[in-house]
Structures are given as C-alpha cells and as structure tokens.
Amino acid sequence: MASQRDVRNRIGAVKNIQKITRAMEMVAAARLRRSEQRIEALRPYVGAIRRMTRDAAQAAGYVPSVPILAEHESLDAVGLLLVAGDRGLAGAFNSNIVRAGVTAGRDYVGESKKVLYFASGRRPASSLTFRGLEPTESFIGFTDRPAYADARTIAERLMAAYVDGEVDRVEVFYNHYISPMSQIVRRETLLPLAQATLLAEGEQESAQQQPEGLAIPGAEEAAKPRRINVEYEPDAEAVLKRLVPDYVKLSIYRALLESTASEHGARMTAMRNASQNAGDLIKDLTLEMNRARQAEITQEIMEVVAGAEGLG
Amino acid sequence: MAHAKFPVEVLTPEGEVFAEEVEMISTRTGLGSIGILARHEPLLATLVPGELRIYRSQDEIVRFAAAEGYLQFIENRALLLVEEAIPPDQLDRPVLESKLSDARGVAERAQEGSEERASALRDIARYEAFLAIGQ
C-alpha cells in the first residue's frame, strides 16, 4: 500500500491538473461566445449578397457561364479540404475530421481517382503527413480566430486548382456547430458550385417567404415588390460574375467559423470532463490517503499495545 | 454649404463597421472613382480595392482601406458590402509587404492565363492599394 506521503503528492498533482483544466474550460467558454457572435455577424452580409445576386440575375435575365459553375467532363482528381484546429485537447474534434476525410479519400482512390488533400489547421496537416498523405497545401495559424482574408486565401487557391484543371471536384469536411456538447462532421461539395445555391433562399431568409421573382431591400419592406431601374456598373452580367466566387469564399469562411466554434465547444466539454475526472480522482485518492493514515495509526497502536504487553 | 444627408451602411463578413447618416461617400469602382451624394440614381457597382471615404460633413471624414466589394444605392440608402474595411491606422505594413512579395512570386511562377496567376494579380492589386493608403 502506498504511503500517506505518496498519496498526498499525487493529490497535489491532480489538483494542479484540475486547476489547469478548469482554466482552459473557462478560456474555451469565452472564446466560444465570441465565435458564436462572429457566426451571427456574418448573417447580414450573406443575406445582402444573396439579394444582390437575385437582383442581378433578374436584371441580366440569366446566370452567365462562370468556370467554377461548370462541371468538368470527367472526374479524375478530387481535392479534399479538411478543416480542423491548430491545437489538440479538444476531444475527438480533430480526429473526426481526419477520419472522415481519409475515409473519403480512400474511397476515391479505390475508384482510381487522384486525391489531393488540403488542410486548414496544424492538426489535420500533421495527421495527414503522419499517415503518409502529404497535404498539397496547408493553411495554418488562424484557427483560433479566422478572418475573412484567411477564407479568401483558401478559396482562391481551391478555385484556381479547379479552374486550372488540377482537380475536378472539391469537397470540404468540417465540424458543424450545434452546441458545446455536440458537433457533427459535415461533408459538402464546394466546387463545382451548384447553380441552385446562387438563387436559393438562405436559411436566414426562409422566415420571410418572399414571392418568387421579387427582391426586397429590407425585411421591413418584405411585402412591397421592387421595380426600380437600377443602373449596373459595369453591367449586371459582370456584377454576377464577381458575385459567384463570393459564394465559395463565404462557404469556406462559414466552415472556418463553425469549425472554430466547434473547437472551442469541444474543448470546453473535454476540459469540463477532465475537471470532473480530476475531482473524482481526488476523492478516491483522499479516501486512499485516509485509509493509509488509519492503517498507520492502527499499526502504531498495535505496536504500543504489543510493547506494553511485552513489558507486562 | 451643407449637403443633404443619407444613411450609409458598410458591411463586411466580420460584421458591420459603419452605419450613420452622412453627406457624401467617395470610393473606387471598376470604372474609376465615384462620389455619391443624397438622391443618387439607383446603382449597383463593383468596387475595387482602394480608399473608402465617408464624409460626415465637409471636413469630418471617416476613412477605410476597403477590399473588393459592392456598392448598392437604392431608395436613397447606400449599402457597401466589402470583404475587408480597415481603418488606415490599423494597417499592418510589414505584413502587407510580405504578402505582396509572396503574391508577386506566385504571379511570376504561375502560367500565363491561368486562374492561379489571375488570383495572384488580384492579391497584388489589393495589397498595393492598401499600402498606398497606409502612407
């Protein structure tokens, strides 16, 4: 049986760990709140881009042919973008993405397609390298607080790969944020961009249910149809062509934000569990220490009694 | 003379950066500089990276380094959607310079006419515009 002193040392160590995990939980909680706010902050921009796209498509009368909307004739190479974190200690947050991405990649290789991996975050980048699946490009250093410029960098790289024929399809894997307790792995096709996404109503607008073919300048005027002659500069088609790639950038930005919120949520939950486990361990160890102390006392009493008997 | 005021909203994917009634805005579209006063014609223009100036009054000007975006003017309201809108004093010159030289490297290596090159040229235009504003 461990001595009292050993157990006391272990209790001290576990208490220190518990302090750290508690602090990490609180940091993650604060960051989670901020990332939730950033997801909220994106909504008005996306809504405005969608309205602008519908207006411009209406004015142009059609959606112009843009390379990222056009499906390639044959599917030979697939780009997989794995979005996760720079750091660990967040439960299965990183490994779920790597597992889903690698499984999908293996399926494509089974169909004799070439697979190019792209990683956002140090963890998926190093996991891929470790498995011998060297990523074509890694984007790192921002997963705590991704900026739109980071999403633009990734999107531009992937769009160039698609348009220049390096890949014929691009899929993204990321953790969709539901709550601190639950995140689910989402797999979406980024490129070619489906034309339906351009003219579809966003989830944030579905509540307004505007009639088909009418655009609205603001929610408060939802009922009023707009028939204004807007001058497009240079013209509606050129504006549309500029708007289309924005959908890819926004999809990636959204994935980065969701992933960041998921990461902080997962870390918060993981750290809360760790703190609880540390608490349980401390309880067990305290019990063990008391038992050890009691055993020592019993031992001493027995020695005293035995000594007294020996004298008598 | 004071001009009539009209509401202006500047939105970026990271949130709203400006929403006030102002006298005039001045920015750059794909076709050149543009100034917008109250009761401008309905307009939807694409914006190129450059300085966005918002005139609260003749001599009170709010400035931003604005990336690519759109300007919509409808029903006497201006809505600017820009990818980034950074106050000039918050521009990080060393970072911009290193990104600029990276982009130049990519543009040089990339094949003529490729999307990779086009994308690098867009980056160059943006970083150069930002650096010009920062001066």
B89, pLDDT greater than 60:
yes
For A33-265, CATH number? 3.40.1380.10
Q: Where are the alpha helices (DSSP H) in A208-235?
A: none
- Specify if B55 maps to a domain: yes
The whole-number pLDDT of residue A210 equals 40
Q: Decide if B30 touches A, using CB distance below 8 A.
A: yes
The whole-number pLDDT of residue A310 equals 85
User: What pLDDT, in 10s, does the model give residues B50-77?
Assistant: 999 999 998 899 999 999 999 999 999 9
For residues B25 and B75, state if they share a domain. yes
Considering only CB atoms, which chain B residues are within 8 Å of A42? 13-15
Nearest CB to A52: which of B30, B44, B67?
B44
For residues B96 and B122, state if they share a domain. yes
The whole-number pLDDT of residue B1 equals 59
* d(C-alpha B80, C-alpha B52), whole Å: 10
- Average per-residue pLDDT for chain B: 92
Closest CA to A149 of A67, A252, A244, A47: A252
- Which of A68, A142, A230 best probes binding to B when mutated, by most B CB atoms within 10 angstroms? A230
For residues B84 and B20, state if they share a domain. yes
B18, pLDDT greater than 80:
yes
Closest CA to A96 of A191, A182, A190: A182
> Nearest residue on chain A to B118, judged by CA atoms?
A160
Nearest CB to A164: which of B16, B75, B116?
B116
CB contact under 8 A, B116 and A239: no
CA atoms within 13 A on the CB side of B113: 1
Nearest CB to B115: which of A41, A148, A160?
A160
Q: How many domains does chain B have?
A: 2
Q: What percent of chain A has pLDDT over 90?
A: 67
User: What pLDDT, in 10s, does the model give residues A152-185?
Assistant: 999 999 999 999 999 999 999 999 999 888 889 9
For residues B69 and B98, state if they share a domain. no
For residues B74 and B30, state if they share a domain. yes
What CATH topology corresponds to A4-30+267-311? Helix Hairpins (1.10.287)
B94, pLDDT greater than 80:
yes
Domain range holding B103? 91-134
User: What pLDDT, in 10s, does the model give residues A88-130?
Assistant: 888 889 999 999 999 999 999 999 999 999 999 999 999 999 9
The whole-number pLDDT of residue A195 equals 81
Q: What is the ipTM of this complex?
A: 0.91
Q: Decide if B2 touches A, using CB distance below 8 A.
A: no
For residues B71 and B31, state if they share a domain. yes
User: What pLDDT, in 10s, does the model give residues A11-45?
Assistant: 999 999 999 999 999 999 999 999 999 999 999 99
* d(C-alpha A290, C-alpha A292), whole Å: 5
Give CA torsion, residues A219, A222, A224, A229, to 10 deg: 60
A49, pLDDT greater than 80:
yes
Kindly report, as residue ranges, where domains of CATH 3.40.1380.10 are found in chain A.
Answer: 33-265
pLDDT-derived band at A311 (thresholds 50, 70, 90) equals: confident
For residues B96 and B79, state if they share a domain. no
CB contact under 8 A, A228 and B42: yes
The whole-number pLDDT of residue A62 equals 81
> Nearest residue on chain A to B29, judged by CA atoms?
A233
The whole-number pLDDT of residue A225 equals 47
The whole-number pLDDT of residue A204 equals 46
For residues B79 and B109, state if they share a domain. no
The whole-number pLDDT of residue A201 equals 63
Interacting residues of A84 by C-beta distance below 8 A, sequence separation 6+: A93, A94, A97, A98, A119, A120, A121, A123, A124, A143, A174, A175, A259, A263
For residues B81 and B105, state if they share a domain. no
The whole-number pLDDT of residue B20 equals 94
For residues B84 and B95, state if they share a domain. no
The whole-number pLDDT of residue A221 equals 43
Nearest CB to A231: which of B43, B67, B84?
B43
Question: Which CATH number characterizes residue B66's domain?
Answer: 2.60.15.10
Reading the block at residue A301, the tokens are 């009493």
Q: 3-class secondary structure for A84-151?
A: CCCCCCECEHHHHHHHHHHHHHHHHHHCCCEEEEEEECHHHHHHHHHCCCCCCEEECCCCCCCCHHHH
For residues B106 and B52, state if they share a domain. no
